[in-house]
Chains A and B, each alone.
Chain A
Amino acid sequence: MTLSNATDRGPLFFRDRDWHPPAYTPGYKTSMTRAPHRALVALGSTLSEETGPAFGHDMLGELDNNLVMNFTGQPAIGERIIMHGRVLDETGRGVPHVLVEIWQANAGGRYRHKKDGYLAPLDPNFGGCGRTLTGPDGSYEFLTIRPGAYPWPNHVNNWRPMHIHISVFGTGFGQRLITQMYFEGDPLIAKCPIVNTIGQDRAIQALVAPLDMNRAIPMDCLAYKFDIVLRGRRQSFFENRKEGM
C-alpha cells in the first residue's frame, strides 16, 4: 500500500465523551455490569492509535455491498433501499479507502444468528451483512432492504427501532468506531433505551438517516443518506518534540 498524505498520520483529536454515550446507562440493562467503574486513564494519542490497518480492493467480492443479492444470488424480500454517504473526519475531509462493514436484521426484524430466537422467520435469501471501501472522496454505498423493528428483553416491552449496524475504520486504530443508523420518522427511535444512552438530542439526530429522494431509483429502490464522522487529526508536526517536554 502507499502512504497517504502526512495529515493522515497526525495526533488524533480528543474524543468528546459527553457527546458519546457514557458506559453506565441503567436504562440499557446490560450496560450495568459491563461498564467500567473506574475512571478511564486519559492520554494523548501515540503511534499505537495513530497507525492502523489498511484494506485493499482485492479482498472485496463483487456483491459484498449488495445485501439484496449477496447471500444466495436470489433477491431478498423487503423494502429495497440504497444506503449511502461519506466517511469524513471532524475537519470535514473525506476519508478515502477505509473499510465500512454493516449488518442488520431482515425485513421482519429477524437476525441470521443462532442466538436470535424471535418468531419472525428468516428470509432464505438474506444473509444480513455487507462491506465496502470508501472511494477517493470518502463516499460509500450499499444496496439492502430496510430492516424491521424487533423486540428485545430489556424492559418488558422494548422494541428496537429499524436500524443498520455500522463498523468503520479510519486511518488510525484510535478512530475505530461502531454505531447504528436509524431511519427518518421512525417513532420507535425516541423510545429506545439504546438510542437514549446518548444524552444530547443533537447527537441522537446525527444517527438518523434522512430519506434521500435524489438518490432513489424510480421503480427500483428508495435511498437514505448517512454520513459518518471519525475523529479528526491534528496537522502540526511541531508538538511532542522532546525538547518541548
Chain B
Amino acid sequence: MSGRLPLQLHIPMPLSRPGQSPRFDHINLSAAGEVRRPDPCTPEREVRDLPQLLVRVLDDAGRAVGPWNPVLPDGILMQALRAMMQTRIFEDRMFRAHRQGKTSFFMKSTGEEAIGVAQALALAPDDMCFPTYRVQGWLIARGYPLVDMMNQVYSNAHDPLKGRQLPVMYSARDYGFYSLSGNLGNRFGHAVGWAMASAYKGDHRIALGIVGEGTTAEGGFHEAMTFASVYRAPVILAVTNNQWAISSYAGIAGAEETTFAAKATGYGMPGLRVDGNDVLAVWAATCWAAERARQNCGPSLIEFLTYRAAGHSTSDDPTRYRPADEAAHWPLGDPIARLKQHLIIQGLWSEARHVQLEAELQDEVRAVQKEAEAIGTLGQSKPPLDEMFEDVFKEADWRLIEQRRELGL
C-alpha cells in the first residue's frame, strides 16, 4: 500500500546513559499525603485510580502526613531505622569481603532497605515472606543472627545451608523467610499456593510474595497473579521497582506506558503504587493489603517505587549502562536519610545520635564478621562433605549412598 510508512520496531531506551545527566521526569509522583486511603476491602473497580498515583507519607520536610500515615510508636520507628542502617552496614562489609576474596558473590539492597524492613516488622511472625535476593533487611529486622547470614555468605562450616547455596540465597523458616533460589519469579506462585493453603486450613496466616520489576515479565508472574485472583488467595503480591534489572531499565520490562501497579487491574485486584523509600508508606500499604487479605477480601498488588542504588551484584559494573550519579538524583531520596530526618523533626533523634548509632552498628557488624571469619571464609572452611548428599530426598537412595562412598565417605 502506498502512503504508509514502513513499520518500525520500537526498542525502549532509558532517558540517560553514562556521561549524560540523570533524568527521572518520566516518573509520575504524587505529593505526600495526597492519595486517598480507601477501606482495605473496597472492591477493585472502585480503586482503579490508585495504580497511577503514588502513596507517600513522609513529605520533603520529613513530616508524616495524610491518610496513609500509620502513626507508629516511636520505638518501632527506631527499630526500623536501626534495622535499615544495620542492613546497609552489613551489606557494605560483605561487598568488601567479596572484593577481598573472602566469598564468590554478593548482592546489596542499598536504597531499598525500607521495603524488607517495614514488611518484616508490619506482618505477623507466622506470616511467610517469599522474598527475592534483595530483601536482606527482612532477616535483619526480625533478628536473624547476622553471624549466620555471614556464615551463609562464606559457605563455611557453620553455614546454615551446609554450603549448598550461592551467597545471599538464604532460607529461614522460623523467621518467615522462604528459601530463595536463582530462578526468577518461580516463588511468586509459591506465595499464592501457601496463602491458598492457609485459607484451605481456615488459618489466619497470610503470604507476601516479592518480585523485582524485571521479573514481572516472567510467565510465573502472570500465573501467580491469575491464581491469586481466581482463588482470592490471602496474599500480598509486591513488585519492587528499582528501575533496573541488571542493565535493563524498567521500560524493557513494560513500564514505558504504564505502571507495574496497574497490572493489578487486569487481574481484578487492587493495585497500589507506593513510595518504596518511605518506610511509613511501605508500612501502611503493607498493612492495608494484609488487612484486605486477612478479611478474606483477597489479594492485592503493590508496586514499591525505589531505586537500585548499588550495582546489581558483585559481578556488575553499573557505570557501563547508567549515569554514575543517577542514585543521587533519584527523586524519592534515600530511605534511611528520610526516616532520620523525620525522627529529627519529631525531636526523637539528632545528627549526633545518628553518628553514634552508626558507629555502634559498625562495631557490632565488625565483631560479628570476626566471629564468622574465625569459622572461615569461602574455601578456608566448609561444612562436612557428606552434607553434599543429604536432603536431596528425605532419605538418600542407593545412588547417593554409592556416590558418597565413591568420594571415600
Mutual binders A and B = no
